[in-house]
Amino acid sequence: MNKKLNTILLIFLVYSSVSCAFAQTNSDLKTITIKKEATLVKAAFDEAEYKVIAFDRFGNPHESAVKSFVIFYKEKNNAYEKKITGNVFTEEVINYLTKKRKTATKICISSIIAESRDGHLEELPSLCDIVIFPDCKKVKKS
């Protein structure tokens, strides 16, 4: 009887180990992908102070989060780009767009790089169709 019980246990162990080996085949494996949720999701242009502000997914502004961006504009048949470090337009760019030009300029702000509170750099969507008007000048009545 002892020999019969040992044989049955041996057969059961062989069967269970073989079935466990075939239970995890490659066709049954599924891949789980995890997408990191961005902290900062969009940017906006502040026309009064000529700066770019980042917003988080809850709509809270983060003024110092933007680290760099590129301004793109066209003049006649020429296209110009200016890379700016920080979140504020340089004095040179502001003077050119507001004082040296007589017509409104349509600009596009692209390659907006912002730094989250965790220190991760994130690229924000571009801002296009921003119109900057030149400074108003006094007109003498004739």
Asked whether residue 74 is domain-assigned, the answer is yes
122 C-beta neighbours (distance < 10 Å), count: 18
In a domain, residue 98? The reply is yes
Q: Is residue 28 part of a domain?
A: no
Query: pLDDT, tens digit, for every residue of 38-48?
Result: 788 899 999 88
- Number of domains the chain contains: 1
21 within a domain of the structure (yes/no): no
What pLDDT, in 10s, does the model give residues 87-124? 898 888 888 888 877 888 888 999 999 998 888 888 99
Give the range of the structural domain holding residue 95, as residue numbers without chain letter.
40-132
Residue 43's Cβ-count burial label (10 Å; 0-12, 13-18, 19+) is: buried
* Biggest alpha carbon–alpha carbon distance for the chain: 125
Total Cβ atoms within 10 A of residue 131: 9
- The verdict on pTM exceeding 0.75 is no
Does position 23 have pLDDT exceeding 60, yes or no?
no
Domain assignment of residue 14, yes or no: no
Query: CA of 4: how far to CAs of 1, 15, 77, in Å?
Result: 5, 17, 95
Whether 11 is covered by a domain: the verdict is no
Q: Is 77's pLDDT higher than 70?
A: yes
